[in-house]
Structure 1
């Protein structure tokens, strides 16, 4: 049975935690509004990419994919990291997907990197951090795309795994395909026109940066919404725990006062 002093200290600790979680919820709410505005603008890049690949589809499905996983370096935001990690493992291990199990993986964010390194450590080729601490910019995406292209990793196409924003309280892991330079050259839509090699190369690089940017801003919005929800739940749990501890403290204090009164009355009766 906990003493009154122990209950009092625990009450103080839980109240401090509640203050922190409420503050974090307010900060996440403010950041979410900014992230949603950035996401609306960034989605235009993804729409343009989808239109290009729709009119120039690859002739054959790619077997060796480069999987780019997008999460973040921060925690306390629910299951956004495990969501993309599980989707990546399903993509690699599913025999119906036709993907080579040795396909390379590149990860943006330390949290998913730590999760994937335990299950698919042999597939990890490159990782990025310190991206998305604030609202992601196209410069961030272009830098990642440039490092991917210069990494020398061989692949037939790129699959970007990220969290798709559904609403302020829900998201889901999604995979978007980005065709490689060779796939664009060999597609019937591009063969119909005479183009210089540099045009296709530049388009492939720009399309990759576009796709990464669209995924980054949407994943960032998911992170802020998930953090707000997580901090809201944590604040409610702390409030419920405070109520239980306060009741336990009051009962213990009442019992202590009753025992003291019994002792006083017993002593007075003895005299």
Structure 2
């Protein structure tokens, strides 16, 4: 069905409104990413501080001889999103979780999910969720979420006592080359290579650090700080990646809208030019018809009288 100039004008107005919204969302994605990146750098510094504390503790007190405990409970902490316009963020993560569960043997792990939409994506794959947490709405919410997750893991560990728990963090992170990838980070039990590296790492100062707390209490406090920093870092990285995904999607949408606007403008210009050409042809046709009418002389009648009148008019 051929489109009229009015229809094309309305479509261009609608596309320009959508283009304005997309540009606004693109700008917001860029603005929102900066605070989360700053939070990630800040928690990285805190993470190094905790590791320095563990380093000093190990150099001063040595590695604690903790009794080996069997892991009976596994927990997966999945960082999803409830914010829209970021593509198949939750669906990709849910597919990865399903693959991990299919590859695991033994009892199904308990899943702590960040985001109601992430929980729905897991439910679509028949994956039960033990606890759902609200994602942070701002940078200040990352600390709240990390505290809630830490308390949740403490509760799971107390219920599982005397057995130990194993915790893995699953989230989407930025990959090399500007892409994205699902990342699985083991959190608990603490990797023995970390303690081994800290034990073998030389102490820069001439004096060893001292402490007044009980070694076990201090070690547990440091481990709790390590867990909190890891949860905070994973949440901040997930938020940065979410905004990056939204930014990439908005850039694609902006390009598609601009191409559509260009096509609509081209169609409108062609239709407008066609209308102008038609009007000009009508004017020219009418003018030519009027010229022919004016050139054609009217009949003056037949016979000698008419001929005489004609000769008189010619003579005059």
TM normalised by structure 1 equals: 0.77
Question: 1:192 is matched with which residue?
Answer: none
Aligned partner of 2:233 among 214, 219, 222: 214
Contact 2:173 2:241 in 1 (8 A): yes
Runs of 5+ consecutive residues of structure 1 not aligned to the other structure: 189-194
Question: 2:138 is matched with which residue?
Answer: 134
Query: Secondary structure of the residue that 2:27 maps to in structure 1?
Result: helix
Measure, in 2, the Cα distance between the counterparts of 1:78 and 1:166.
Answer: 17
Q: Cα–Cα, structure 1 residues 27 and 198, in superposed 2: closer, same or farther, change >3 Å?
A: same
Measure, in 2, the Cα distance between the counterparts of 1:253 and 1:42.
Answer: 60
Superposition deviation, residue 211 in structure 1: 1.9
Question: 2:18 is matched with which residue?
Answer: 17
Superposition deviation, residue 153 in structure 1: 7.3
1:133-173 Cα offsets, whole Å, 9 max, x none, are 11243333112221343368768311110122346943311
Superposition deviation, residue 126 in structure 1: 0.9
Superposition deviation, residue 47 in structure 1: 5.8
Q: Cα–Cα, structure 1 residues 267 and 100, in superposed 2: closer, same or farther, change >3 Å?
A: farther
Q: Cα–Cα, structure 1 residues 44 and 120, in superposed 2: closer, same or farther, change >3 Å?
A: farther
Query: Over the residues paired in the alignment, what is the CA RMSD in angstroms?
Result: 3.7
Query: Secondary structure of the residue that 1:119 maps to in structure 2?
Result: coil
| Aligned pairs for 1:33-112 within 5 A | 33-44=34-45, 64-94=73-103, 98-100=104-106, 102-112=108-118
Which runs of structure 1 show a deviation greater than 6 angstroms over 4 or more consecutive aligned residues?
A: 48-52, 55-61
Measure, in 2, the Cα distance between the counterparts of 1:47 and 1:90.
Answer: 33
Which structure's CA Rg is the greater one?
2
Aligned partner of 2:126 among 111, 120, 144: 120
Superposition deviation, residue 174 in structure 1: 0.5
Measure, in 2, the Cα distance between the counterparts of 1:31 and 1:61.
Answer: 43
Measure, in 2, the Cα distance between the counterparts of 1:237 and 1:140.
Answer: 37
Question: 1:258 is matched with which residue?
Answer: 277
Contact 1:66 1:104 in 2 (8 A): yes
